[in-house]
Amino acid sequence: MNRIRQEKIQDYIERNSVATIKELQALFPDVSLMTIHRDLDALESTGAIVKYRGGVKSLHHPDDIEFNIRMRENIQGKEIMAQKALSLIKNRSSIFLDAGTSNLVLGKNIPDLSLNIITTGPAIAIELCRLHNPIVTVCCGDMNRKNMGISGKNALEMIDKINIDTAFIGVSGASSKVGFTCGTEADMLIKSSVIKKARVSVMMCAQEKLTRLMPYTFASFSDVDYIITDYELSADFKEEAEKNGVIIL
């Protein structure tokens, strides 16, 4: 039975290139999470797949694995945040979307308004090409394959020269004590630079991000105007937001 189940798991991963642990659990609802992990360990030991945080990939898949896995996680939550974010987007305004899966979902939902949209996410820019009215600008710089985002000196210089009405910033981790965090220094520099330039700064912060802390803090609550979330946030987090006049949507 183990061999048959593992073959089905491997086939699913090969067909989809990537898979989350939740997806594999759904395939075998009568099997424990620990058993799924043991199956994946067995497949990985044979060189059939590679495990990553929260999921697995086919060895034939390109290096943007983490982005693809995150894109398939918490889809409903990302849609909830996107719909809330739309209320802050005004016609004939300039908005910034930093790279990340929450803003990619927002990009998929933006209507065909007269907008200037600046982004560090090439995938977001490509998605926005379905629209006719917005002017879409992609920052130049170095590509990070993990989050499919652009950063570096050239991107920072470009951001310094633009004006932004509303910036939508992705969050990798957050807490009431340290603020809003991300995983690399390069991303931290981009996010903090955008916040300084924007008239309104909006954090795209799913509830699940409150369980994570990443190495670099790019914003404190005093830097933020809005927090958009999918589900109820913790009491201490809401208290800190209220103390700093931050509106939670």
Residue 24 confidence (pLDDT): 87
Residues 39 and 132 in one domain: no
| Encoded tokens for 78 | 């990302």
Tens-level pLDDT at each residue, the chain (249 residues): 687 888 888 888 877 777 888 888 888 888 888 888 888 888 888 777 778 777 787 765 544 445 555 555 667 889 999 999 999 999 999 999 999 889 999 999 999 999 999 999 999 999 999 999 999 999 998 887 777 789 899 999 999 999 999 999 999 899 999 999 998 899 999 999 999 999 999 999 998 888 778 889 999 999 999 999 999 899 999 999 999 999 999
Helix, strand, coil % in the chain, rounded to nearest 5: 45, 25, 35
Residues 111 and 24 in one domain: no
b/e per residue 102-120 (b: at least 16 CB within 10 A): bbbbbbeebeeeebbbbbb
Residue reference for tokens 């620990």 = 34
Query: Could you list the residue range(s) of the whole structural domain that residue 46 is in?
Result: 2-71
Residues 136 and 203 in one domain: yes
Burial zone of 45 (CB within 10 Å; 0-12 exposed, 13-18 middle, 19+ buried): exposed
Residues 230 and 207: their CA atoms lie apart, in Å, by: 6
Run of H or E residues at 52: strand 49-52
Residue 93 confidence (pLDDT): 97
Contact at 8 Å (CB) between 88 and 106?
no
Residues 66 and 174 in one domain: no
3-state secondary structure 36-47: HHHHHHHHHHCC
What single letter denotes the amino acid at residue 140?
A: C
CATH code of the domain containing 197: 3.40.50.1360
Overall pTM surpassing 0.85 (yes/no): no
Residue 225 confidence (pLDDT): 97
Residues 206 and 92 in one domain: yes
Residues 16 and 96: their CA atoms lie apart, in Å, by: 31
Residues 136 and 27 in one domain: no
Q: Which residues contact 84 (CB under 8 A, 6 or more apart)?
A: 228, 249
Residues 92 and 53 in one domain: no
The last residue of one of the domains, among 35, 51, 71, is 71
| Encoded tokens for 237 | 């987090």
Residue 64 confidence (pLDDT): 47
Tally the domains of the chain.
Answer: 2
Residues 12 and 98 in one domain: no
Residues 81 and 59 in one domain: no
Residue 12 confidence (pLDDT): 84
Q: Which residues contact 32 (CB under 8 A, 6 or more apart)?
A: none
Q: Which of 80, 89, 143, 79 is nearest to 112 (CA)?
A: 89
CA 100 to centroid of chain Cα atoms: 3
